[in-house]
């Protein structure tokens, strides 16, 4: 028998902390995973799906928006001139002297013969210092001399020329040598020539680098490339935030899964202890298994995400109109997300590891562990955290500030989530004590939930968190969309179009490249004809003239300010919306469909009064309430507002209008703003494009159609639905875990004559109870969060803004969701659980 006295082998070990011992433990953990990966499929699949989803979402979110260096290439600054630039070479030399390298791009707008479409004749060096990202060769080669040109695909086909053919533009003949495109904007249509070939440029851009210099000091037409904003609006940050929340939910569910797994391995772990493994080594086995699951899940998830991305990328390129590199992936989001997955799985395995290592060895070996010590979980830490969160969230958005104090906001959210996680076990024991008088099947289900907290607690926490997020979004959205001043929502209905008239002559126009004044618009007949054409093409039933005034409405109190155009209630407009003159209060100044607007105080109307009027007098206004409301020349307090629901609700539609009475009484000036067109059927995309082209024939005329902004109701419903679906998914995974392992009582029940109905009842009660408790805790926490955030946030209206309770949605969450969970559980619980009943370890 080999013994310590064996002269050949020195068998003194380096101790349990040594590398050899660690490797032995890890080896067994890895072998267990390899053998039993099917039992961990649930958690593994969850991590794979979440990591894959984050991968794809991050890739899409970062690549979908228009590249911020469109027009700039690699330059940081751009000086843009309209039309030919006098003394261009001098200016170029001056800038070159000051900033070093400079590149000139000249564009001349040309029309495609026989069409309204235009393209640019572009003089741009194909090897310039800054333009590399904006030029790529599709076929052939770049032009190298005066007689050569390269076209974009669209231009080439429109002009019906191919490579090696001659192309005449005006008097010039050039040979087409290649097909090019602008990777940053694949819609860009241009003909590329070498620099110096454009004689009458429409626009000249100078690209250069001026780091640290304020562009306005260089010139009025200089712009700096907009940097990718760090902060809340950046899609990468949002995705990362979603990743953190997602991994938290994953960790909670995985905790339950690992508990079940450790329970199944209890005997082997006891055996390990009996041959001399320390508690630490036993814990290490379970934790290593967690880490392995995390790593495997992260790698497989990234692979899945990559495959989906590779499939979807071409479609995204087409829909976003710029070239997207195959591997242009935001690794600074994906990397941390993968790391988070590993961390989440490892952390989720820690508590089950501790629990199973503490089971007495003899009990573990026999598979009959002792009754868990009744730990009295106090509710106090959880409640304290909720209070802390309430306070922090309030301080994060105090006052009229739109920008939140980010650390306090994050701290408040973290405290909120932690509070929910800590309170979840307490809620479970509440459930058990409430259910003491329920019939036996329900009582058993509730008692099991309360007893085996290590798996039902995290499940409840996860369900609550998903409900909480939905409630926060729904309630906050309801407060925001309920604000009638800063009106937000869809701009128009799908069958409504607004055509905007060109601005009056002399209006100041501001653009990133400088300011100018508007030219004189064409006469009314021309405009009317154009509108008539547009309306006909769209199959419109009416085109109402929209008149605007020179008056501004504002809210002088705390909170948000007025937003949106106010038109005039002409006779035609009122008729078009079916408003009889008898419905209009003769003393009303403003008509609006915005609900509750009439009750808002501290509204102020200001305008520049027509010249020649005596000060202080509001002419022709006999009604008594106006004089005390006057706040001086061209100013009126609390104009009388009448609510009429027949007015359209779109943000760009005439939802609020001045009465003719107000126009006359206050001496307001009116001018043509545009036309409001309603069609029978919503116009097709082709019709809209044609209308846009029609409008563009007149300088300054533009069209607005329904955008994709969701209405308040849509946001609230979507959030509710998402929260419910997520909660149901969590419940589905958790109830299976919980019921599968505690079937011992079912055997007893079956022996006394209970049937599959009992099994179904218990499972349904478990699902329904978990669902309801999760909905309750989530709703309470969600309201605490929103109230905490909004209470001192006067911008969003404070607590009174929460008056609009989205009742139907809350009922769906609190009642329909648990019912649905119970019903589905009832239906699916008929089959025998395949797992043989064991006593759970906690």
Partner 1 sequence: MSLLELHQVSKTYGAGPSEVHAVADIDLEVDRGSLIAIMGPSGSGKSTLLTISGSLEEPTSGEVLIDGDSLQKMSRNDKARLRRRTIGYVFQEFNLLAGLTALENVSLPLELDGVSAKKARLAGIAVLEDLGLADRATRYPDQLSGGERQRVAIARAVIGGRHLLLADEPSGALDQANGEAVMRMLLSACKKGVAAVVVTHDAQLASWADRVVFLRDGRIVDQTVPPPSAESLVQNVPQP
Binding region for partner 1 (CB under 8 A): 1-6, 9-18, 20-21, 23-25, 27-28, 31-32, 34-35, 267-268, 271-279, 281, 360-362, 365
- Closer residue to partner 1 in complex, CB, 12/622: 12
- Closer residue to partner 1 in complex, CB, 197/281: 281
- Maximum Cα interatomic distance, the chain, rounded to a whole number of Å: 120
- Whole-number minimum distance, CB 59 to partner 1, in Å? 38
Q: Can you tell me which residue has the tokens 């320390």?
A: 278
What is the CB neighbour count within 10 angstroms for residue 275? 6
- Closer residue to partner 1 in complex, CB, 2/752: 2
User: 345 with 245: CB under 8 angstroms?
Assistant: no
Taking Cα atoms as reference points, which of 419, 465, 43 lies closest to residue 253?
43
- Closer residue to partner 1 in complex, CB, 46/364: 364
Burial of 405 (0-12, 13-18, 19+ CB in 10 A): middle
Q: Can you tell me which residue has the tokens 């339950």?
A: 256
- Whole-number minimum distance, CB 834 to partner 1, in Å? 19
Structure tokens at 446: 């509730």
- Give CA–CA dist 83/202, Å, rounded: 4
Burial of 839 (0-12, 13-18, 19+ CB in 10 A): middle
- Whole-number minimum distance, CB 28 to partner 1, in Å? 6
Phi, psi angles (nearest 5°) of residue 121: -90, 115
- Give CA–CA dist 202/701, Å, rounded: 20
- Whole-number minimum distance, CB 6 to partner 1, in Å? 8
Using DSSP's 3-state secondary structure scheme, residue 18 falls into: coil
Phi, psi angles (nearest 5°) of residue 386: -65, -40
Question: What's the DSSP call for residue 129?
Answer: S
Taking Cα atoms as reference points, which of 596, 550, 545 lies closest to residue 575?
545
The residues near 369 (Cβ < 8 Å, ≥ 6 apart) are 266, 359, 360, 363, 839, 840, 841
- Whole-number minimum distance, CB 362 to partner 1, in Å? 5
Taking Cα atoms as reference points, which of 78, 216, 54, 214 lies closest to residue 134?
78
- Whole-number minimum distance, CB 4 to partner 1, in Å? 4
- Closer residue to partner 1 in complex, CB, 360/504: 360
Give helix 453-481 / helix 235-264 axis angle, nearest 10°: 160
- Closer residue to partner 1 in complex, CB, 41/328: 41
- Whole-number minimum distance, CB 353 to partner 1, in Å? 16
- Closer residue to partner 1 in complex, CB, 2/581: 2
- Whole-number minimum distance, CB 452 to partner 1, in Å? 23
Taking Cα atoms as reference points, which of 650, 34, 105 lies closest to residue 288?
34
- Whole-number minimum distance, CB 356 to partner 1, in Å? 15
- Closer residue to partner 1 in complex, CB, 117/279: 279
Burial annotation 731-742 (CB, 10 A radius, 16+ → b, else e): bebbbbbbbbbb
- Closer residue to partner 1 in complex, CB, 13/86: 13
User: What Å distances lie between residue 370 and 223, 334, 366, 753, CA to CA?
Assistant: 73, 44, 11, 28
User: 163 with 137: CB under 8 angstroms?
Assistant: no
User: 178 with 206: CB under 8 angstroms?
Assistant: no
- Whole-number minimum distance, CB 72 to partner 1, in Å? 59
CA atoms within 13 A on the CB side of 639: 32
User: 671 with 504: CB under 8 angstroms?
Assistant: yes
- Closer residue to partner 1 in complex, CB, 276/523: 276
- Whole-number minimum distance, CB 293 to partner 1, in Å? 16
- Closer residue to partner 1 in complex, CB, 360/512: 360
- Closer residue to partner 1 in complex, CB, 34/831: 34
- Whole-number minimum distance, CB 349 to partner 1, in Å? 18
- Give CA–CA dist 499/227, Å, rounded: 33
- Whole-number minimum distance, CB 19 to partner 1, in Å? 8
- Whole-number minimum distance, CB 837 to partner 1, in Å? 18
- Closer residue to partner 1 in complex, CB, 37/327: 37
Question: What is the signed CA dihedral for 645, 646, 648, 651, rounded to 10 degrees?
Answer: -20
- Closer residue to partner 1 in complex, CB, 2/708: 2
- Give CA–CA dist 95/88, Å, rounded: 11
- Whole-number minimum distance, CB 291 to partner 1, in Å? 17
- Closer residue to partner 1 in complex, CB, 84/363: 363
- Whole-number minimum distance, CB 13 to partner 1, in Å? 3
Burial of 327 (0-12, 13-18, 19+ CB in 10 A): exposed
Region for 406 from its dihedrals, namely left if φ exceeds 0, alpha if ψ lies in -120 to 50, beta otherwise: alpha
Kind of pairing, strands 603-606 and 552-555? Answer: antiparallel
Q: Can you tell me which residue has the tokens 């076929």?
A: 139
- Closer residue to partner 1 in complex, CB, 370/434: 370
């Amino acid at each position: 028998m080999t013994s310590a006295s064996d002269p050949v082998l020195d068998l003194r070990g380096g101790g349990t902390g040594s590398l050899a011992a660690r490797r032995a433990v890890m080896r067994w953990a890895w072998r267990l995973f390899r053998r039993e990966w099917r039992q961990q499929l649930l958690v593994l699949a969850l991590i794979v799906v979440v990591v894959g989803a984050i991968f794809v979402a991050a890739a899409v979110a970062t690549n979908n928006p228009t590249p911020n260096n469109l027009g700039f290439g690699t330059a940081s600054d751009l000086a843009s001139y309209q039309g030919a630039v006098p003394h261009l070479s001098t200016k170029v030399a001056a800038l070159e002297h000051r900033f070093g390298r400079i590149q000139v791009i000249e564009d001349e707008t040309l029309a495609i013969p026989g069409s309204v479409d235009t393209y640019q004749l572009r003089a741009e060096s194909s090897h310039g210092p800054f333009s590399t990202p904006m030029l790529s060769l599709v076929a052939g080669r770049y032009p190298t001399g005066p007689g050569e040109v390269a076209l974009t695909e669209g231009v080439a086909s429109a002009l019906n020329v191919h490579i090696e053919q001659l192309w005449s533009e005006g008097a010039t003949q050039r040979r087409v040598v290649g097909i090019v495109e602008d990777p940053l904007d694949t819609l860009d249509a241009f003909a590329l020539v070498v620099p110096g070939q454009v004689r009458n440029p429409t626009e000249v851009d100078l690209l250069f680098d001026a780091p640290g210099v304020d562009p306005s000091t260089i010139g009025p037409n200089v712009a700096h490339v907009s940097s990718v904003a760090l902060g809340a609006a950046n899609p990468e940050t949002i995705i990362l935030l979603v990743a953190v929340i997602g991994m938290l939910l994953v960790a909670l569910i995985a905790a339950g899964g690992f508990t079940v797994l450790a329970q199944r391995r209890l005997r082997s772990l006891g055996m390990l202890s009996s041959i001399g493994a320390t508690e630490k080594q036993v814990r290490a086995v379970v934790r290593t298994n967690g880490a392995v699951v995390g790593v495997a899940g992260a790698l497989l998830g990234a692979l899945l995400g990559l495959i989906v991305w590779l499939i979807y990328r071409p479609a995204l390129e087409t829909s976003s109109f710029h070239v997207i590199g195959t591997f242009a992936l935001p690794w600074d989001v994906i990397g941390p997300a993968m790391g988070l997955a590993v961390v989440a799985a490892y952390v989720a395995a820690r508590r089950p590891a501790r629990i199973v290592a503490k089971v007495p060895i003899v009990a573990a070996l026999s598979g009959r562990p002792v009754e868990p010590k009744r730990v009295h979980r106090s509710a106090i830490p959880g409640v304290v955290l909720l209070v802390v969160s309430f306070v922090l969230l309030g301080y994060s958005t105090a006052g009229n500030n739109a920008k939140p104090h980010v650390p306090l906001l994050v701290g408040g959210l973290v405290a909120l989530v932690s509070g929910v996680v800590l309170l979840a076990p307490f809620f479970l024991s509440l459930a058990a004590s409430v259910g003491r008088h329920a019939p036996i099947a329900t009582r058993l289900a509730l008692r099991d939930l309360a007893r085996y907290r290590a798996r039902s607690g995290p499940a409840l926490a996860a369900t609550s968190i998903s409900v909480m997020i939905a409630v926060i979004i729904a309630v906050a959205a309801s407060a925001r969309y309920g604000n009638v001043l800063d009106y937000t929502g869809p701009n128009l209905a799908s069958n409504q179009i607004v055509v905007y008239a060109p601005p009056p002559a002399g209006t100041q126009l501001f653009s990133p490249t400088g300011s100018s004044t508007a030219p004189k618009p064409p006469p009314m007949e021309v405009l009317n004809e154009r509108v008539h054409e547009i309306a006909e093409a769209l199959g419109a039933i009416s085109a109402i003239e929209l008149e605007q005034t020179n008056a501004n409405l504002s809210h002088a109190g705390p909170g948000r300010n007025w937003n949106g155009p106010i038109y005039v209630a002409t006779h035609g407009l009122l008729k078009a919306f079916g408003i009889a003159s008898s419905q209009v209060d003769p003393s009303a100044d403003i008509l609006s469909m915005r609900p509750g607007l009439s009750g808002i105080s501290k509204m102020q109307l200001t305008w520049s009064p027509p010249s020649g009027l005596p000060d202080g007098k509001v002419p022709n206004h006999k009604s008594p309430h106006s004089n005390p409301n006057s706040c001086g020349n061209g100013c009126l307090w609390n104009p009388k507002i009448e609510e009429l629901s027949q007015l359209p609700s779109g943000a760009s539609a005439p939802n609020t209008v001045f009465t003719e009475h107000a126009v006359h009484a206050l001496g307001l000036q009116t001018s043509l703003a545009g036309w409001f067109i309603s069609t029978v059927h919503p116009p097709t995309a082709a019709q809209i494009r044609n209308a846009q082209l029609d409008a563009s024939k007149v300088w300054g005329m533009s069209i607005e159609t329904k955008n994709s902004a969701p209405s308040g109701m849509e946001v609230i419903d979507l959030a509710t639905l998402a929260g419910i679906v997520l909660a149901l998914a969590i419940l589905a995974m958790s109830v299976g875990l919980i019921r599968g392992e505690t079937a011992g009582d079912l055997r007893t029940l079956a022996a006394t004559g209970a049937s599959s109905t009992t099994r179904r009842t218990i499972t349904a009660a478990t699902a329904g109870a978990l669902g309801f408790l999760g909905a309750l805790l989530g709703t309470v926490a969600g309201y605490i969060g929103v109230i905490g955030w909004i209470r001192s946030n006067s911008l969003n209206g404070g607590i009174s803004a929460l008056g609009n309770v989205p009742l139907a949605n809350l009922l769906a969450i609190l009642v329909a969701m648990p019912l649905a969970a119970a019903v589905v559980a009832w239906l699916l619980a008929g089959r025998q659980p395949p797992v043989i009943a064991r006593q759970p370890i906690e």
